[in-house]
Structure 1
Amino acid sequence: MNKFWIMVAHTYLSKIKTKSFIITTFITVLLLLGLSNISTIIEAFNKGDEVKTFAVLDESNEYYEKFETNITARGIPIHIKKSTLSEAELDEQVQEEKVDGMIILSSDPHQQLTATVKTLLMTDSQVYTQIEQILQQTKQDIGREQLGLNSNELNQLFTPVELHKVALEDNAKTEEELNQARGLVYVLLFVIYFSVIMYASMIATEVATEKSSRVMEILISSVSPVKQMFAKLIGIGLLSITQMLVILGVGYASISAKIDELNAMTGGALGFSAIPTSTFVYAGIYLILGYFLFATLAAFLGSLVSRIEDVQQLISPMIFLIVAAFMIAMFGLSNPAAPFITISSYIPFFTPMIMFLRVGMLNIPAWEIGLSITVLLVSIILLAIFGARVYKGGVLIYGKSSSFKDLKRALMLSKDK
């Protein structure tokens, strides 16, 4: 048993010291810090931006005053000035960069406000959006005056209809709780998706690397192939926990400082105050079970190849299963109670993501959660038994391998040992 834990420690320590692990963790932490502080970064770059100046040509001599009033009232960082020059002369000024752009206010055949905006480039979409908003407000003001309505009457006309949503099921989540659950599930689904792909592929590559360097022949003389396989699963599992604790710790510390701002930007999706602790617990459970399910599959698939170049080709069906589960889960975010989602949540290779989706967004009975965990545990045990036999014979197979025909050969070799 000492040899087993020595291999676990060796797998863990050898991987945690690699440049790829350190660089990947560092880059991911930087991305998290950047995304959580994106508004601050944008503001820092925008501080030096000058207020854009637009020349306004009012062909009807009716719209400029209201247009200017609305720009001032909204505090939009655009400076406008009425011009008496012709359109051709203003075009020259824009091209010579004397002004940032020009706005032509005119009337359409129905005597409604219309406008043309000319700039050197059309890359600054924010400016066009701001001008469009002011034009819309100006058009409403003109229409209100023509209809003889005051501001309050117009506001009442455009006030959105109130829709009261009521769920009759006992303990059904409120809309706020559902939005928060959806935001949390969305984030954790990405964590499960990338973790399973990255670490399962790492195991397959590790096995293939040892075989290609002939290190495997030395290892199996002192430690059984089955112990090797489970040592790698546990060692890289500990590695994944270490990396995720670092990343999630930094991410939580960074996001918690700006949680109110991010919550406002996402419409309440990141305000996790209404999320029960059990949801986080289930996220950890399904992440660990999903890891062992796919890692076991990846380990014995990796044992069938002796060249690193063949790894991705052989594990590609496993990657497709993970991608399929993720896509189904993304569909389920909008309708987690769909029968298709319910059925998919009991298919072992889909369970880690889709059952967690249901647990996070619905109030499902405890027996369904227990059943899904049992399905996963049984699948992992069966896959581990089968995978151990394949691994035991697969580590002895050398030469080019690009198909699953070697499964039969590996099983036969395992019986002979």
Structure 2
Amino acid sequence: MNKLWIVMLHTYKTRIRSKAFILTTVASLLLILGLTNMQTIVNTFNGDDEDKKQVAVLDESGSFYELLKQQVDTTSDDIELTKTNQSEKEAEESVLDGDYNALLYLEKNEEGLPEGVLKTASVPEAGWISNIETNLQQTKVMIATQQLGVDPAELTSLYEPVSFEKASLEEGAKTEEELNQARSIVYVLLFVIYFAVIFYGSMIATEVATEKSSRVMEILISSVSPVKQMFGKIFGIALLGMTQFFLIFLVGFLSIKYGPSNGEESTQSPTDFTSFIQIDQLPISTVVYAIIFFLLGFLLYATLLAMLGSLVNKVEEANQVITPVILIIVVAFMGAMSGLGNPEAGFVTIMSYIPFFTPMIMFLRVGMLNIPAWEVMLGILILIVTIGVFAVIAAKVYRGGVLMYGNATSFKNFKKAIQLTKK
């Protein structure tokens, strides 16, 4: 057991000091900081966007400008309309000179309703332009209702959303708001589990293949048994993954909680990322289940990948042999993504009890539904038993596989590896 800890700590220390780990960790932390402070970054590099957009209005009808300006002033804080007495050509020149951001040309159609043409110096694709269009539409509705003799207040009441509430009869069922929040959290954590299992699992297979290709394995097995090597590497890289994700989540939490664009004294609206994931509403149980299913899923796939890695002699061959396992992980992830919209679907329930899919699918159900505790425990038990079975098989294959050299592209090497174990 002492040698197992030595291999685990050696694997952990070696990997955590590697340039690849440092670069990926730094890049991930910078990405998290960028996402959680996106609004601040955008405002820093595009300070002009905070100023009001100056729009010159050329009202040919002479009656639409005041109504439209009143509507825009009520609904938009970033647009300022200014009536101009210039000719159309002179106003266009003012836009090109930078005096205005755009020119809005208003005229009256045959029904006496407003029509508009907006001209900008560059391609008119900014979001504030759609705001002007919406306000002009509202102005048109107001004028049309006045022409028909309809009280605008009465028309507004007709367009008010109908009162419609949703309620579940099951005790403890999530509300629609809680379900949407849970879906957002599960969505992000599913990506974390998916990429972590692929990244760190593949790392185990390539590390074993690297040691075999350099003949280091022949020296290692003389002092440490192959089985202890395998599990030492698995636990060491699992600890490495937990360290990296702890740093990422810690920086993400602190950035969301205390960042300049999210602090209590900030007047800026939260970014899309911070509104997508609300840390204050993240249930502790969801975090605990995420850690449990991440570790169990990692152990399941890492055991298989370590076993396959022992059958190859080169890193290039490792990518070919582990492809079927990667495809299984992809199928599990796609099933989880499909189940986000309907977590109560029958296929989701069935897949949650298939060991290769349980880490993601059962976590999906736990995060979004109030399922009985026995179902969760059953899924965890199935995973543990499956890991135990594969660990026994993988230990036998690994013990013989690390001594095999030659063509490793065929899965017939399983039989040869087990035969070497018996010798």
**TM-score of the pair, normalised by structure 1:** 0.90
- How far is 1:368 from its partner? 0.9
Moved more, 382-391 or 6-15: 382-391
1:71-220 aligned within 5 A:
71-84=72-85, 87=88, 90-91=91-92, 93-95=94-96, 97=98, 99-108=100-109, 110-122=111-123, 124-220=125-221
Deviations 1:264-316 (A, max 9, x none): 96897644656543222212111110110111111111112211122222222
1:223-242 aligned within 5 A:
223-242=224-243
Moved more, 205-214 or 150-159: 150-159
The yes-or-no answer on 1:21 pairing with 2:21 is yes
Classify 1:214/1:163 alpha carbon distance in 2 versus 1 (closer, same or farther; 3 Å): same
- How far is 1:228 from its partner? 0.8
Q: Corresponding residue for 1:39? A: 39
- How far is 1:340 from its partner? 1.1
Unaligned residue ranges in structure 2 (runs of 5+)? none
1:375 counterpart SS class: helix
2:241 counterpart SS class: helix
Code of the aligned partner of 2:295:
I
2:360 aligns with one of 347, 353, 365: 353
Distance in 1, Cα, partners of 2:271 & 2:100? 36
Q: Contact 2:39–2:271 at 8 Å: present in 1 too? A: no
Code of the aligned partner of 1:177:
E
Q: Corresponding residue for 2:320? A: 313
Distance in 2, Cα, partners of 1:137 & 1:89? 29
Q: Contact 1:183–1:269 at 8 Å: present in 2 too? A: yes
Classify 1:291/1:77 alpha carbon distance in 2 versus 1 (closer, same or farther; 3 Å): same
Classify 1:108/1:412 alpha carbon distance in 2 versus 1 (closer, same or farther; 3 Å): farther
Q: Contact 1:101–1:119 at 8 Å: present in 2 too? A: yes
Code of the aligned partner of 1:209:
T
The yes-or-no answer on 1:384 pairing with 2:397 is no
Q: Contact 2:38–2:271 at 8 Å: present in 1 too? A: no
CA RMSD of aligned residues (A): 2.7
Distance in 2, Cα, partners of 1:262 & 1:275? 20
Classify 1:63/1:123 alpha carbon distance in 2 versus 1 (closer, same or farther; 3 Å): closer
1:321-400 aligned within 5 A:
321-400=328-407
Q: Contact 1:94–1:101 at 8 Å: present in 2 too? A: yes
Unaligned residue ranges in structure 1 (runs of 5+)? none
Q: Contact 2:226–2:402 at 8 Å: present in 1 too? A: yes
2:246 counterpart SS class: helix
Classify 1:96/1:256 alpha carbon distance in 2 versus 1 (closer, same or farther; 3 Å): closer
Deviations 1:101-158 (A, max 9, x none): 3222234555543322222332642132222222223223223322444453233222
- How far is 1:14 from its partner? 0.5
Code of the aligned partner of 1:23:
L
**TM-score of the pair, normalised by structure 2:** 0.89
Distance in 1, Cα, partners of 2:32 & 2:20? 18
Classify 1:118/1:9 alpha carbon distance in 2 versus 1 (closer, same or farther; 3 Å): same
Code of the aligned partner of 1:42:
V
Classify 1:10/1:175 alpha carbon distance in 2 versus 1 (closer, same or farther; 3 Å): same
Distance in 1, Cα, partners of 2:188 & 2:24? 19
Moved more, 346-355 or 121-130: 121-130
Q: Corresponding residue for 1:7? A: 7
Moved more, 189-198 or 153-162: 153-162
Deviations 1:343-370 (A, max 9, x none): 1111111110110110111111122111
Classify 1:139/1:123 alpha carbon distance in 2 versus 1 (closer, same or farther; 3 Å): closer
Classify 1:268/1:311 alpha carbon distance in 2 versus 1 (closer, same or farther; 3 Å): same
Classify 1:12/1:54 alpha carbon distance in 2 versus 1 (closer, same or farther; 3 Å): same
